[in-house]
Amino acid sequence: MKGKFRKIATARISNSNFRSAQTSKGARNRILPYFCLIPNALALDAALFATCWQGMANGSFGMAYSWFHGLLVVLAVWLGYTADRLVDAVGMKQNAQTVRHRLVQRHRKALFFAWVIVLAGSITLAVTYLSSKELVTGFALAMACVANACLNYLDPTGRLPIPKELRASVLLASGIHWVLWSQLTAISFPFVLSCLAVTLLCFINCCFISKWERQLDVKQGQSSLALRRRFVSEQVAGITLVTATLCLLIGALGAHCPQGLMFQATAVALFALPIIDHTKLHPEDKRIIADASLFLPCLLLVS
């Protein structure tokens, strides 16, 4: 009997030491201070990414771009991301593992109140400044986002053939090209290519994040692409390098075409992801750096 108790005690001590080692290892791998995680936790980086790439897309096609277009995209992306996290936080109960989900859980009432205020402000801004065509296309895109949110709620385990990460990427790319869509007399092939480039970038970024956070998602009881599709973890780095090379070639061949800049920008952002993936950083640090790398093309390619 004493031997059994000794074994149990030894096992507990070993498990405790293992957890401590894992915790200290995770702490060592964190390089970013807490305040660097706040913009991502509040979805501010995603909103800023959208308006920066919207400006780049409009500039490459030579289309007019006003301050209220950028502000509306910022507000719309923030509304979408925050709504998604509010729903996630409710489903997780007390199992949130990431900074962004813990922050939403602690301040969900304040965030929901802010969400309602921002929604009302967005509608007022849109009705005041947008043309009738911009209102129609913006409303169509908003309805698509609502439909996607309903699909996410009805299909939490990701059984639908088109993964939620790809649907979100298409919607984000559409939002970035929303002003172009409203101003073009007809949907052109360069426009479609530009949308495709941004969709690829957003989707591959989601693939890497789901790979890095798959253990956190298990603890949170959350479905992710890496948990549903094993190849994402195994093949995403190689697929990204091939995709980035193709985007770079397409961008170089069409350097004087409207979509050329968008493919070059996508290639620059994509090449950064496998490099980040190769590091031993904490998953949330990788996410922050990966999202920050999306701004690289705006600095390198836009004068």
Quick: pLDDT tens for 244-264. 999 999 999 887 888 898 999
pLDDT interval class at 12 (50, 70, 90): very low
Q: What is the pTM of this model?
A: 0.86
> Cα Rg for the chain, rounded, in angstroms?
21
* pLDDT surpassing 50 at residue 22: no
- How high does pLDDT run on average in the chain? 85
The domain spans of the chain are 35-300
Q: Print the SS3 string covering 140-182.
A: HHHHHHHHHHHHHHHCCCCCCCCCHHHHHHHHHHHHHCHHHHH
- Predicted local confidence at residue 185, as pLDDT: 82
* pLDDT surpassing 80 at residue 7: no
* pLDDT surpassing 50 at residue 278: yes
Q: How far apart are CA 171 and CA 169, in angstroms?
A: 5
- Predicted local confidence at residue 223, as pLDDT: 79
The per-residue pLDDT for range 110-162, each reduced to its tens digit, is: 999 999 999 999 999 999 999 999 999 999 999 999 999 888 888 877 788 88
Q: How far apart are CA 215 and CA 147, in angstroms?
A: 29
pLDDT interval class at 102 (50, 70, 90): confident
